[in-house]
Structure 1
């Protein structure tokens, strides 16, 4: 079990980034959350098996079909034992 926090910049708000992220995470069995930040970035936390979390981090660099990702910052954190994935405000 691993945990990663990502901060995604670019055109990532108002383009279904969070909802698509939620669907991708659910399909991979990854827990965590995703939210918009006031500065226009998106922040997400992913917890799960290494391969699945790494796939989510890679997805963040592509984003939804309408997004245009400029940069992804990734931070390793200790897992907290999250059990589901949520879109938060």
Structure 2
């Protein structure tokens, strides 16, 4: 099943390569979308792909991301959106 999730990660998620690590893992999992820093210190992402792969990417960001301390994350289900690739938005 193809899904799109909007996720906002809070905690120590900026200045630790969170976005580039997410990009690498997304490519590995064949998840499309984007990730970007927000002005409030959080990181926002749109992840699209097979449900299992999207869940695995979220789990990686929350639990296995080097140096990150995710204190909270909000996940929003969205209508499936097809992205051409995964990228870091600036």
Fold-level match, TM-score > 0.5? yes
2:45 alignment counterpart: 44
Q: How does 1:66-85 map to 2 (within 5 A)?
A: 66-85=67-86
After alignment, is 40-49 or 60-69 more displaced? 60-69
1: distance between equivalents of 2:8 and 2:70? Answer: 11
- Give the alignment's Cα RMSD to 1 decimal: 0.9
Unmatched tracts of structure 1, length 5 or more: none
Runs of 4+ in structure 1 displaced over 4 angstroms? none
Unmatched tracts of structure 2, length 5 or more: none
TM-score by length of 1: 0.95
When the two structures are aligned, how many residues end up with a matched partner? 89
SS state of the match for residue 25, structure 1? Answer: helix
2: distance between equivalents of 1:36 and 1:13? Answer: 7
